[in-house]
């Protein structure tokens, strides 16, 4: 193992409706890493955006029960989403697209949270369940039941982070960290002392906001929150993490959950499932050995597994 | 056997024959209908159920090297996060 570099280079770009950050352990690798990340962002957006009419996801959702042959990246995103559903016993389910639409999340979120926008909310639509998706892996052919809308919101961005970080590391040979709106994947030798990551409610927040700074060496770190992607319809408030069984936004036992895992997909899958699981989440995460930080609506923090102690004043989130 | 009885026996045999032919026709139609139905709805039969290889290698040789589609499941990190201080380089938060 080579000696870790002390300097790191940083770049930001807009991606997936949020801010993406690319860090390289060596400053000379940043441009190349950035190019790799841009390629992955464009490819994943083309494959899996729910709001692009020309995306593969839109084509699959419009097929209304007919089989559709999909590309390699979409296939990988679908398999990742189905796997997340199985590993979480259905807490993270890709068949919740119609539930999101029924809750009013039927357009790009930047449009949804504009003042004065008219939001149409219908009754809850529980997800039909990931087992209703028929996937012929050999022929890359997917069949989604009529009326079911797939949504890869819980896994596609994290998968893109993992793929981009790995490819950027392979291309540059140095340590790379890729963060897509808070879904972070690190690959290769980090700077001395590790990557310094702030965990907090909003990925756009600065260090002055309540939270905790940790160091990450490799793997994934992801945060799911019910306080950022929110919208209102009349007096009712909604957020984007759907409980598949009820078709409604999950109860707010936790306002924010951060999880570290072997990769970003696992981290984000666990963080989203923890929001859905509510009070059972700390025990579930501990049993899996996933270091996690769970924040209650009042700001109190529960640390799980090997999550580091919070030495900031008050320890508040 | 008188002619009346013979006629009755012939009528009985003819009836039995008609019933046999009708039964065979119905059977043939049922088989043909089953074949047509199976062909028409074959695309709805699962040829490959969603496959999740928990605890096994997936053999996936696709792009990238993430273990996301491999055997890792929800595995913990190789190195747990450590305590940090100073200004951060990146933020993990809700989006």
The shortest CB-CB distance from A203 to any of B43, B65, B91 is to B91
The predicted model gives A117-138 an average pLDDT of: 80
B39 domain-assigned = yes
In-domain check, residue B4 = yes
Q: Cα distance from B14 to chain A (closest Cα, Å)? A: 51
- With CA atoms as reference, the chain B residue closest to A264 would be B68
Flag whether pLDDT at A1 surpasses 60.
no
Instruction: Tell whether the model's pLDDT for residue A3 goes beyond 50.
Output: no
For range A101-115, the mean pLDDT: 63
Query: Is residue A227 packed enough to be buried (19+ CB in 10 Å), middle (13-18) or exposed (0-12)?
Result: middle
Taking CA atoms, A58 is separated from A52, A100, A151, A180, in Å, by: 7, 15, 10, 22
Interface test with B, best of A9, A81, A262 (most B CBs within 10 A): A262
Residue B76 lies in a domain: no
Selected residue of A133, A266, A293 to mutate for chain B interface (largest B Cβ count, 10 A): A266
pLDDT band at A239 (very low <50, low <70, confident <90, very high): low
Give residue B18's domain range: 1-43
Instruction: Compute the distance between CA of residue A97 and CA of residue A286 in angstroms, rounded to an integer.
Output: 30
Please state, as a whole number, how many other Cβ atoms lie within 10 Å of the Cβ of residue A89.
11
Domain count of the fold of chain B: 1
Beta carbons of B91 and A200 less than 8 Å apart: yes
Instruction: Assess whether pLDDT exceeds 60 at residue A311.
Output: yes
Whole-number pLDDT of residue A4: 43
Q: What is the mean pLDDT of residues A226-243?
A: 70
Q: Which residue has the higher pLDDT, A269 or A316?
A: A269
Q: How far is A276 from chain B (nearest CA, A)?
A: 15
Query: Is the Cβ–Cβ distance between A104 and A149 less than 8 Å?
Result: no
B35 within domain boundaries: yes
- The stretch A82-86 carries a mean pLDDT of 95
Maximum average pLDDT range among A12-21, A79-88, A227-236: A79-88
In a domain, B84, yes or no: no
Cross-sheet strand order for the sheet of A141-143: A68-69, A141-143, A134-136
CA A300 to chain CA centroid, nearest Å: 23
Instruction: Tell me what pLDDT residue A265 has.
Output: 96
Burial of residue A64 (CB within 10 Å: 0-12, 13-18, 19+) is exposed
* Section A55-81 average pLDDT: 95
Domains of chain A: 9-216 (3.10.520.10)
Residue A137, Cβ density class (10 Å: 0-12 exposed, 13-18 middle, ≥19 buried): middle
Note the helical H segments in A174-314: 264-277, 281-288
Share of chain A above pLDDT 70, in %: 84
Q: Is residue B69 part of a domain?
A: no
CB contact under 8 A, B84 and A288: no
Nearest to B87 among A138, A170, A207 (CB): A207
Name the closest residue on chain B to residue A154, using Cα atoms: B95
Domain for residue B50, yes or no? no
In the prediction, which pLDDT does A243 show? 83
Question: Going by C-beta distance under 8 Å and a sequence separation of 6 or more, which residues neighbour residue A96?
Answer: A127, A151, A242, A244, A247
> If pLDDT is split at 50, 70 and 90, which confidence band does A109 have?
low
Residues A251 and A278: their CA atoms lie apart, in Å, by 7
d(CA A88, CA A269): 8
Beta-carbon separation of A229 and B94 below 8 A: yes
Q: Concatenate the DSSP letters of all residues of A22-86 into one string.
A: EEESSGGGHHHHHHHHHHHHHHHHHHH-SS-TTSHHHHHHTTTT--EE--HHHHHHHHHHHHHHH
Please state the ipTM of this predicted complex.
0.79
The DSSP call for residue A266 is H
Contact B51 A137 (CB under 8 A): yes
Mutation target for B interface from A198, A222, A272: give the one with most B CBs within 10 A: A198
Selection from A177, A159, A206 nearest residue A34 by Cα: A177
Q: Which of A16-30, A73-87, A107-121 has the highest mean pLDDT?
A: A73-87
Does residue B88 fall inside a structural domain? Answer: no
| Range A91-104 average pLDDT | 78
How many whole angstroms separate alpha carbon A254 and alpha carbon A266?
Answer: 19
CA dihedral sign, ordered B74, B79, B85, B86:
negative
Nearest to A184 by CA among A261, A272, A83, A255: A261
Place of tokens 């962002």: A41
- List the single residue in B with minimal CA-CA distance to A155: B68
E strand intervals along chain B: 82-83, 90-94
Residues of chain B with pLDDT below 50 are 43, 46-72
Q: What backbone torsions phi and psi does residue A194 show, to the nearest 5 degrees?
A: 90, 170
Mean pLDDT of chain A: 87
- Is A112:A119 a contact under the CB 8 Å cutoff? yes
Residues in chain B closer than 8 A to A132 (CB atoms): none
Query: Chain B residue with minimal CA distance to A219?
Result: B77
Where b means 16+ CB within 10 Å and e means fewer, A121-133 reads beeebbbbbbeeb
Identify the CA nearest to A277 among candidates A301, A307, A304, A253. A253
**C-beta contacts of B29-35 below 8 A and 24+ residues apart:** none
């Amino acid at each position: 193992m080579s000696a870790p570099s002390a300097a790191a280079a940083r770049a930001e770009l807009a991606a997936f409706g949020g801010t993406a950050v690319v860090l390289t352990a060596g400053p000379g690798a940043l441009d190349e890493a950035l190019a790799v990340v841009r390629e992955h962002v464009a490819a994943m957006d083309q494959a899996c955006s729910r709001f692009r009419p020309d995306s593969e996801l839109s084509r699959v959702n419009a097929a209304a029960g007919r089989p559709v042959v999909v590309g390699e990246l979409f296939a990988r995103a679908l398999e990742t989403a189905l796997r997340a559903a199985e590993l979480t016993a259905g807490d993270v389910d890709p068949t919740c697209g119609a539930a999101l639409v029924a809750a009013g999340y039927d357009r790009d979120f930047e449009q949804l949270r504009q003042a004065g926008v008219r939001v149409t909310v219908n009754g809850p639509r529980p997800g039909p369940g990931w087992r209703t998706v028929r996937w012929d892996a050999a022929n890359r052919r997917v069949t989604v039941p009529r009326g079911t809308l797939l949504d890869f919101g819980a896994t596609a961005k994290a998968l893109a982070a993992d793929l981009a970080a790995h490819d950027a590391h392979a291309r540059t040979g140095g340590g790379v960290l890729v963060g897509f709106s808070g879904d972070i994947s690190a690959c290769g030798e980090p700077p001395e002392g590790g990557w310094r990551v702030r965990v907090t409610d909003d990925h756009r927040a600065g260090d002055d906001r309540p939270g905790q700074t940790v160091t990450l060496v490799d793997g994934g770190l992801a945060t799911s929150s019910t306080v950022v992607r929110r919208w209102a319809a009349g007096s009712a408030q909604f957020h984007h993490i759907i409980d598949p069984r009820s078709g409604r936004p999950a109860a707010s036992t936790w306002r924010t959950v951060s999880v570290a895992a072997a990769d970003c997909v696992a981290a984000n899958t666990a963080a989203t499932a923890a929001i859905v699981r509510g009070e059972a989440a700390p025990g579930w995460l501990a049993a899996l050995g996933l270091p996690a930080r769970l924040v209650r609506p009042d700001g109190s923090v529960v640390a799980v597994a090997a999550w580091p102690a919070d030495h900031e004043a008050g320890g508040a989130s | 056997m008188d002619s009346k009885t013979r006629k009755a026996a012939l009528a009985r045999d003819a009836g039995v024959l008609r019933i046999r032919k009708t039964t065979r026709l119905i059977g043939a139609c049922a088989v043909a209908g089953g074949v047509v139905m199976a062909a028409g709805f074959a695309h709805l039969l699962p040829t490959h159920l969603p496959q999740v290889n928990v605890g096994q290698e997936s053999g996936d040789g696709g792009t990238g090297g993430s273990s996301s589609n491999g055997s890792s499941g929800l595995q913990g990190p190789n190195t747990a996060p450590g305590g940090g201080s100073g200004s951060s380089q990146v933020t993990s938060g809700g989006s």
